[in-house]
A = this chain, B = another copy of it.
């Protein structure tokens, strides 16, 4: 199984700022954690971060044939991007929405996701563990 992991806007700053909200790990540390976990399950993982809605749409658009599943933390685009929703819907791959923080416990506008309805499921609130659980969910590992 080949999984594409997408990190949305501002996630390049992880570990550097607002650790109270997003945790202390850097994106690199999270990527290493993800890769290590995937490897232990015999899963290939490609990680990708962009602050550009268009880049994310491009990436998802070209994922068919190259990947078997998508894990996406759409960050702020969760709440505003119909384009990413349509990209996932068009890609036809099983996708899991993840969030580091519990989006339901923050501002009201963060409770609505354009992306979630076209995913298989969603996981939020567990820091980098959210990604790890998403891999398990896709692999079906108990």
The interface of chain A, by Cβ under 8 A from chain B, is: 8-10, 12-13, 16-18, 33, 36-37, 50-55, 57-58, 61, 64, 75-77, 79-83, 85-87, 89-92, 96, 102, 104-105, 109-114, 116-126, 129-130, 132-133, 136-137, 140, 142
Contact = CB atoms under 8 A, between A and B. Distances in A.
Given A116-B105, A142-B129, A75 B86 contact: yes
Contacts of A64: 16-17
Nearest to A140: B129
A124 B83 CA distance: 18
Query: Copy number in this complex?
Result: 12
B90 A18 contact: yes
A117 B104 CA distance: 5
Interface majority SS (helix, strand, loop, mixed), chain A: helix
A136 to B, nearest CB: 6
A104 B82 contact: no
Closest 7 CB pairs of A and B: A121-B125, A52-B54, A104-B116, A76-B82, A76-B83, A51-B57, A9-B83
A55 B57 contact: no
A125 B116 CA distance: 10
Given A52-B57, A80-B81, 20 more contacts: A8-B83, A9-B87, A10-B87, A12-B61, A13-B61, A13-B90, A16-B64, A17-B64, A18-B92, A51-B87, A52-B53, A53-B83, A54-B55, A80-B83, A102-B117, A102-B120, A102-B121, A104-B116, A104-B117, A121-B130
